[in-house]
Amino acid sequence: MDQETRGPGRTGKRAPYANGAKKRAELVEAAFRVFAEKGYLGLSIRQIAEAVGTSHTALLHHFGSKEALLEAVLVLREEREGPWRQELISEKGLLETVPAVMRHNAGIRGVIHLDATLRAEAISPDHPAHHFLLRRNQDFVDSVQSELERELAAGRLREGFPPAVLARQITALVDGIQLSWLYDESVDMAEHLQGFMDLIKKT
Amino acid sequence: MDQETRGPGRTGKRAPYANGAKKRAELVEAAFRVFAEKGYLGLSIRQIAEAVGTSHTALLHHFGSKEALLEAVLVLREEREGPWRQELISEKGLLETVPAVMRHNAGIRGVIHLDATLRAEAISPDHPAHHFLLRRNQDFVDSVQSELERELAAGRLREGFPPAVLARQITALVDGIQLSWLYDESVDMAEHLQGFMDLIKKT
DNA sequence: GTCTATACTGTGATAGAC
DNA sequence: GTCTATCACAGTATAGAC
């Protein structure tokens, strides 16, 4: 949650996670792999700990709660994929990037499953991951919207459809299609997003 | 789940739920009201039982499991709203009905919350409500698709966009926008669905 | 700082008395 | 049909060993 910018703990005493940051990072990494490979099927922290190779209390020592661990996994994913997405956007533009992201997501089912589950669980404002997920979603909407404004200014979009609405539609479509796909993998996520891009493109 | 057509139990002995059906229906009705009014916030069956006015074991006796109760609530909702939706479609057509349904859903937040939560929880195929939700979703996609084909044949839709893809996009958009709205009620669900309808309409 | 051991509360579920 | 125990399991909190 609150990992302020702070150099790798040289002093080794004052700050929490001064040396523990390394161990913590390993655990998140391992947990990420467990989710990505074995999927998210209502795993208890005891099961996660076993798959990762520690005790469940050790996990809690580093993360404080189960939800905090789950959130840390999603943060890791964001850190890992954010730059890659941004690069792809500036290379190929938004209209090609979104379907490409969907193709990529089809390869990390467990993480997408975790994402969908946590997002529904965290609807209540007092859920520990609520604000993180709300912010992440809003950031995504904002980033899509600014790209849409660029495309619109370049004359590549149909007129009369406000980017703010289109941005939220795209975001919602991603969420909804991922849910559909989690229920039935024969749903082609990229195709459905590509279809939407074709709808808003100037003919 | 398996409420076959069966007259109100006259004999009062052989069939399960012969007399219990009345009590069961009351319980579902009460549970529905609890969700619609107080919202779904990780309620335990003990809390639901208290709000409904029974013991949690009585609920389990009638429904077998918590998920079965939740599913029964969604079945009740389907039975209640299905006919209304169908009527609206034949009156106003699909393009006006979908936004109208979103306006209606904005008035039953707790049920929408329950729906979103259960849908994410039931992704795993061995979840008790998995097949019900998969079928309900597929039925919705099919029904939207056949309406789109009618609209297309009537010349009211842009050409080159297969109804099968559009139908799934609309379904996913409904799911995704409802999620967005659960996080932030200032999101206008009807507006976003109306916007999509405008995108696929023939100009 | 890191981890183990242990116990506490609440969950969904089951068995059996009435 | 309903209620009283009781169950195994969940997430969590704390004390203390290394």
User: Are A168 and B187 an interchain contact pair (Cβ–Cβ within 8 Å)?
Assistant: yes
Give strand C nucleotides closer than 7 A to any protein Cβ: 1-6, 10-15
What band does B19 get if pLDDT is binned at 50, 70 and 90?
A: low
B18 pLDDT above the threshold of 50: no
- Report pLDDT for A19: 58
User: Are A117 and B121 an interchain contact pair (Cβ–Cβ within 8 Å)?
Assistant: yes
Please give the C-alpha separations between residue A196 and each of A14, A152, A200, B177, in angstroms, as whole numbers: 52, 15, 7, 15
Q: Pick the closest to residue A95 from A196, A176, A177 (CA basis).
A: A196
CB pairs under 8 A between A and B: 114
In this complex, the answer to whether residue B18 has its CB under 7 A from any atom of chain D, a nucleic strand, is: yes
Give the span between the Cα atoms of A158 and A55, in whole angstroms. 56
Can you give B9-66 as a three-state secondary structure string? Answer: CCCCCCCCCCCHHHHHHHHHHHHHHHHHHHCCCCCCHHHHHHHHCCCHHHHHHHHCCH
Å from the B62 CA to the D7 C1' = 20
In this complex, the answer to whether residue A44 has its CB under 7 A from any atom of chain D, a nucleic strand, is: yes
For B153-187, how does the pLDDT look when each residue is reduced to its tens digit (9 = 90+)? 999 999 999 999 999 999 999 999 999 999 999 99
Please give the C-alpha separations between residue B88 and each of A174, B78, B94, B101, B103, in angstroms, as whole numbers: 28, 15, 8, 9, 13
Show residues of chain A in contact with B111, CB under 8 Å. none
Element (H, E) at B163: helix B163-183
Å from the A34 CA to the C14 C1' = 33
In this complex, the answer to whether residue B30 has its CB under 7 A from any atom of chain D, a nucleic strand, is: no
Q: Which two tokens stand for residue A111?
A: 């993480």
For A15-28, how does the pLDDT look when each residue is reduced to its tens digit (9 = 90+)? 344 457 788 999 99
Using C1' positions and the CA of A59, the closest nucleotide is C3
Q: Pick the closest to residue A174 from A160, A161, A189 (CA basis).
A: A189
A45-49, B39-43, B46-50, B58-62: the lowest-pLDDT one: B39-43
In this complex, the answer to whether residue A127 has its CB under 7 A from any atom of chain D, a nucleic strand, is: no
Q: Assess B202–A contact: CB distance below 8 Å, yes or no.
A: no
Residues counted in chain B = 203
Q: Which two tokens stand for residue B65?
A: 């499991």
Show residues of chain B in contact with A121, CB under 8 Å. 117, 120
What band does A84 get if pLDDT is binned at 50, 70 and 90?
A: very high
Q: Pick the closest to residue A62 from A31, A108, A93 (CA basis).
A: A31
Q: pTM for the complete prediction?
A: 0.89
Q: Assess B117–A contact: CB distance below 8 Å, yes or no.
A: yes
- Go through the domains of chain B in sequence order and give each one's CATH number: 3-200 (1.10.357.10)
Distance from CA of A8 to the nearest CA of B (A): 36
For B65-111, how does the pLDDT look when each residue is reduced to its tens digit (9 = 90+)? 999 999 999 999 999 999 999 999 999 999 999 999 999 999 999 99
- In this complex, the residue of A168, A196, A200 whose CB is nearest that of residue B169 is A196
**Angle A122-A128-A133 (CA atoms, 0-180°, nearest 5)?**
50
